[in-house]
Amino acid sequence: MSERNIFVVGMDDYNCKRLNHLRGAENYRFHGVIDPMEVNDTEVFPIEDMLDRAETQLKEFSEPIDAIVGYMDFPVSTMLPLLCKRFGTRSTSLESLLKCEHKYWSRLVQHEVIADYIPRFTVFDPFDSQALQHIGEAGLYFPFFVKPIKSSGSRLGFRIDSPEDFAHAVSQLCEGIGTISEPFNYVLEQASLPGEVRSVDGGHCMAEEIIGGWQCTVEGYVFQGDVTPYAIVDSIRYPQVLSFFYYRYPSRLPSHIQAKMQELTRQVMAHIGYDNAAFNVEYFWDEVQDRIWLLEINTRIAQSHCDLFEKVDGVSHQQVTVDLALGQLPDMPYRQGAFKVAAKFFYRVFFVDATVSRVPSAEEIETLQQAFPGTMITVQVEIGMRLSSLPEQDSYSYALAYVWMGADDDLALEENYARLAEQLNFAFEDIVG
């Protein structure tokens, strides 16, 4: 068999190694497109320029281009349908992708088929001085949640309990929304949009009824029209705050709740017309009311879950992305990994701001990784860095390090992380509490 050429937008060295461990990888050659620093840990997205440069690179390639893939959120997720269309490789359509990524359009489409499982919502212009009044006229009252039409991670999302909260959120939104709205609007210009969506560009925001409970992510894919949810990962938050503590796989949700979430996933993704691509859908299960809420749909695998699947199932679920792009039914193993449970932990501080004065040394990190087999630690800050300069953070905390761990059961996993976290020594000065 001749080797197949797979181009990966934003591929870094670590993920190149991971991709080369996939089933069938001996027959693949992975090529990077766009430097990973341009699409990861940055808040500058010159998407039109990046598309032009990617197209130039691909046109200069003298061999067949068998697939173009990615495993990251914006801007990579929205670049893929455009690149794939230009080069005749497999991808879902741009319109079906935007029915997931444009949060207002996504809610409209979800409402058509699973209205009982989504919160009340409305759209508003953060630059409109009457925005709060319009939200009230739409039937939303305190508390509610606001977020941009398109964001990345949990950036610029706020819980609103009062007019003062709304004023603070709007000031932050007006200051920061252009970072993504401008490149996202370029993508919207390439799509065929209904009028009610065309008028709501990336400079708008959503206001939604507060939902909550046990949060999780359904990982899935669509192959030739067949929607397949294949795994559920739990998202555990720090007590009393919105920030994520860790992701855990496999899920501990009751089996009937998992089955219902999978059923809802099949309904909504089929209705959207999403096809030949991976996705994940975030849900809440409100245990008190025994009610399921759909939070949002993402048009990619969750990169944060790659190591969890490797540890538990034996291979990263990037397998799904690559197989689909090659026109193959995904060949994911099941429970063939070295651990029964795995997690990605977020080591956080809850300052308003501070300057980092100490981080764990490379030797300290290596010692901890050796002490807990299968563990990987990546430090996200450097000495002298202001925490407020960290990209892709939520509105309430800063993630100083990511810790991936595996274990034989949940208790061992949590105990091992607690022991490890005690030995992660960071220090700060100029702390703003």
* The pLDDT value given to residue 27: 97
- Angle at alpha carbon of residue 216, lines to 158 and 345, rounded to 5°: 80
* The pLDDT value given to residue 397: 92
* The pLDDT value given to residue 392: 77
CATH assignment of 120-210, among 2.60.120.280, 3.30.1490.20, 3.40.50.300, 3.30.930.10:
3.30.1490.20
* The pLDDT value given to residue 313: 98
Task: Tokens for 374, please give them.
Answer: 């299968």
Q: In what order do the strands lie in the sheet with 144-148?
A: 121-124, 205-209, 144-148, 158-160
How many C-beta atoms lie closer than 10 Å to residue 357's C-beta? 13
Query: Where does the pLDDT of residue 30 fall: very low under 50, low under 70, confident under 90, or very high at 90 and above?
Result: very high
Mean pLDDT (whole number) for 251-260: 98
Q: Is the dihedral of CA 148, 188, 302, 371 positive or negative?
A: negative
* The pLDDT value given to residue 2: 83
* The pLDDT value given to residue 44: 82
Mean pLDDT (whole number) for 400-409: 98
Query: Where does the pLDDT of residue 396 fall: very low under 50, low under 70, confident under 90, or very high at 90 and above?
Result: confident
Query: Where does the pLDDT of residue 241 fall: very low under 50, low under 70, confident under 90, or very high at 90 and above?
Result: confident
- Tell which wins on pLDDT, 203 or 156: 203
Mean pLDDT (whole number) for 327-356: 96
* The pLDDT value given to residue 92: 98
Is the separation of the CB atoms in 4 and 65 below 8 Å? no
Report CA dihedral (56, 60, 66, 72) to the nearest 10 degrees: -30
* The pLDDT value given to residue 153: 65
Mean pLDDT (whole number) for 184-213: 96
Mean pLDDT (whole number) for 338-346: 98
Mean pLDDT (whole number) for 73-99: 96
CA gap 88, 66 in Å, rounded: 9
CA distances from residue 407 to 247, 315, 343, 353 in whole angstroms, order as listed: 14, 16, 9, 34
**Average pLDDT over all residues of the chain:** 95
Residue 122: CB partners within 8 Å, gap ≥ 6?
134, 135, 138, 139, 140, 206, 207
Query: Where does the pLDDT of residue 154 fall: very low under 50, low under 70, confident under 90, or very high at 90 and above?
Result: low
Single pTM value for the model: 0.94
Record: fold of 4-95? Rossmann fold (3.40.50)
Is the separation of the CB atoms in 131 and 124 below 8 Å? yes
Mean pLDDT (whole number) for 215-220: 98
Query: Where does the pLDDT of residue 240 fall: very low under 50, low under 70, confident under 90, or very high at 90 and above?
Result: confident
The residue extents of the domains of the chain are 4-95, 120-210, 341-432
Residue 392: CB partners within 8 Å, gap ≥ 6?
41, 43, 152, 153, 155
Mean pLDDT (whole number) for 52-74: 96
Query: Where does the pLDDT of residue 433 fall: very low under 50, low under 70, confident under 90, or very high at 90 and above?
Result: confident
Percent of the chain with pLDDT over 90: 91
* Structural domain 341-432, CATH architecture: Alpha-Beta Complex (3.90)
Mean pLDDT (whole number) for 350-376: 96
Residue that is written with structure tokens 């990861």 in the block: 40
* The pLDDT value given to residue 40: 80
Could you write out the three-class secondary structure of the chain?
A: CCCEEEEEECCCHHHHHHHCCCCCHHHEEEEEECCHHHHCCCCCCCHHHHHHHHHHHHHHCCCCCCEEECCCCCCHHHHHHHHHHHHCCCCCCHHHHHHHHCHHHHHHHHHHHHHHHCCCEEEECCCCCCHHHHHHHCCCCCCEEEEECCCCCCCCCEEECCHHHHHHHHHHHHHHCHHHHHHHHHHHHCCCCCHHHHCCCCCCEEEEECCCCEEEEEEEEEECCEEEEEEEEEEEECCCCCCEEEEEECCCCCHHHHHHHHHHHHHHHHHHCCCCEEEEEEEEEECCCCEEEEEEEECCCCHHHHHHHHHHHCCCCHHHHHHHHCCCCCCCCCCCCCCCEEEEEEEEECCCEEEEEECCCHHHHHHHHHHCCCCEEEECCCCCCEHHHCCCCCCCCEEEEEEEEEECCHHHHHHHHHHHHCCCCCEEEEEEC
Mean pLDDT (whole number) for 164-176: 96
* The pLDDT value given to residue 1: 60
Is the pLDDT at 393 greater than 90? The verdict is no
CA distances from residue 192 to 98, 189, 204, 296, 411 in whole angstroms, order as listed: 10, 8, 19, 22, 50
